[in-house]
Amino acid sequence: MVAIIEKRDLRDFDWLTAVLAIAISCFGVWQIHNALPTDNYWSKQIIGIGIALVAFLVVAFSDFRRIVDYAPVFFVIGLVLLALVVTPLGVEVNGQKAWLRLPLIGQFQPSEFMKIPTVLMLAKYFGARKGGPLTLRETIIGGLIFAAPLGLILLEPDAGQAITYFPIFAAVLFISGIKFRYVVIAIVATAIMVQTAWFVGVKYGKIKRYQQERLLAITNPDEVDPRGYGYHTIQSTITVGKGGLAGIQGDPETSQSVLKFLPEPQTDFIFAVTAENSGFIGCVSLLLAYALLLSRMIAGARQSSDRASLLVIMSVVCGMVFQIFMNVGMAEGFLPVIGVPLPLMSAGLSAILTTFIAIGFVVSIKMRRFVN
């Protein structure tokens, strides 16, 4: 592969973005190790990062526009895989069928990967349009592209994963020039619908008791049963707070995750582990690294040569920002417990691979921005 990499490629390669992404993921490995030092999640994650890096380089050095051309193919394959999840081929974990076990490839999470074809498909459709305000017809067709994977994911059901698709679609619509008044209407409508859904849901028992408790744990953490459904939120808050300025020095044997007070420390609550072990300094550094990475990506978007590239980068950016905010907000105890992985940090091959591929597109786009 090196042979086909031209000098210009290396010159234009966005080293900073690549290094930041790798650095954050390595930091993540360390935290996964901190979370459960005796388990092998951290070593698996290193393998995952290795695989992800290969994929990253392949994507980064491919011609992005040709990939976009093939977007419908990827999109259909993705939909088929998602559909397979709800068939007996799917693997059920904790009451959710989010996993697929295929021969040779092994077990993976199609809903995670499906973000990529969805982004590409949306970019292909909205990138082809001319300027001017978004029409209703375009919005509906875009909505159908978005609704197809979303519907299949909700069948699993995996609400946490499904929710991460919304910022992608929102970014696409926003960048494609949806009128500001629709944006305002959408925000207001969302606010009203969330409230209405809550009251109706509670009244008719559609929102289960444990789901209510999880929200109560956020609004009134001192009043809910600390051993009940507020447990995750309370323990995560304690874990984050315990880290203090510089984190616990040594003594990992008494950490919240090792003593199993903190649930899912290597995935959903990896930020709490980071907070406990690296303290305020470590966490702020991590947030700054994310900010820098996102800035680099947005800068790339500003320089992109076509609309499709711009859409891809901005939907990746929005998707990442949303996931970071949901995940860290949950760890900090002010957002409800929804299983959204922290990009580049949470253990999991599907997630790390997807994120690196997405960043690979960004790097690829920046590298070829002068090719016209």
Measured CA to CA, the distance from residue 327 to residue 332 in angstroms comes to: 9
Quote the least distance from Cβ 267 to other proteins, whole Å.
17
151 lines the binding site for other proteins (CB under 8 A): no
One of 177, 201, 252, 336 touching other proteins (CB under 8 A): 177
- Residue located via tokens 């979370």: 35
| Separation in Å, CA 251 to CA 10, 29, 275, 281, 305 | 44, 19, 15, 18, 52
Give the nearer residue to other proteins in terms of CB position, either 153 or 171: 171
What part of residues 117-136 is at the interface with other proteins (CB under 8 A)? 131-133
CA dist., res. 164 & res. 141, Å (int):
20
Q: Does 240 bind other proteins (CB under 8 A)?
A: yes
Residue 324 CB, nearest approach to other proteins (Å): 7
Q: Which of 283, 316, 344, 359 binds other proteins (CB under 8 A)?
A: 283
Q: Does residue 332 bind other proteins (CB under 8 A)?
A: yes
Distance CA 337, CA 331 (A): 8
Q: Exposure of 198 by Cβ count < 10 A (0-12 exposed, 13-18 middle, 19+ buried)? A: middle
Q: Does 259 bind other proteins (CB under 8 A)?
A: yes
CA 154 – CA 212 distance, rounded (Å): 20
- Can you tell me which residue has the tokens 């016209």? 372
Q: Does 321 bind other proteins (CB under 8 A)?
A: yes
Q: Is 208 in the site for other proteins (CB under 8 A)?
A: no
263, 4 Cβ separation under 8 angstroms: no
Among residues 242, 252, 264, 338, the one that binds other proteins under rule CB under 8 A: 242
Query: DSSP characters for 82-107?
Result: HHHHTSTTEEEETTEEEEEEETTTEE
Q: Does 280 bind other proteins (CB under 8 A)?
A: yes
| Least Cβ distance, residue 186 to other proteins (angstroms) | 14
175 counts as binding other proteins under rule CB under 8 A: yes
Q: Does 324 bind other proteins (CB under 8 A)?
A: yes
* Options 42-50, 114-122, 314-322, 356-364: segment touching other proteins (CB under 8 A): 314-322
Interstrand relation of 106-108 and 90-93 (parallel, antiparallel or unpaired): unpaired
Per CB under 8 A, 328 contacts other proteins:
yes
Q: How many residues line the site for other proteins (CB under 8 A)?
A: 53
Backbone phi, psi, residue 362, to 5° = -60, -45
Q: Shortest Cβ distance from residue 344 to other proteins (Å)?
A: 15
Q: What is the DSSP string of 116-160?
A: HHHHHHHHHHHHSS-SSSPPHHHHHHHHHHHHHHHHHHHHTT-HH
The contact set with other proteins (CB under 8 A) reads: 131-133, 171, 174-177, 227, 237-245, 253-254, 256, 259-261, 275, 279-280, 283-284, 287, 290-291, 294-295, 298, 301-302, 304-307, 310, 314, 317-318, 321, 324-325, 328-329, 332-334
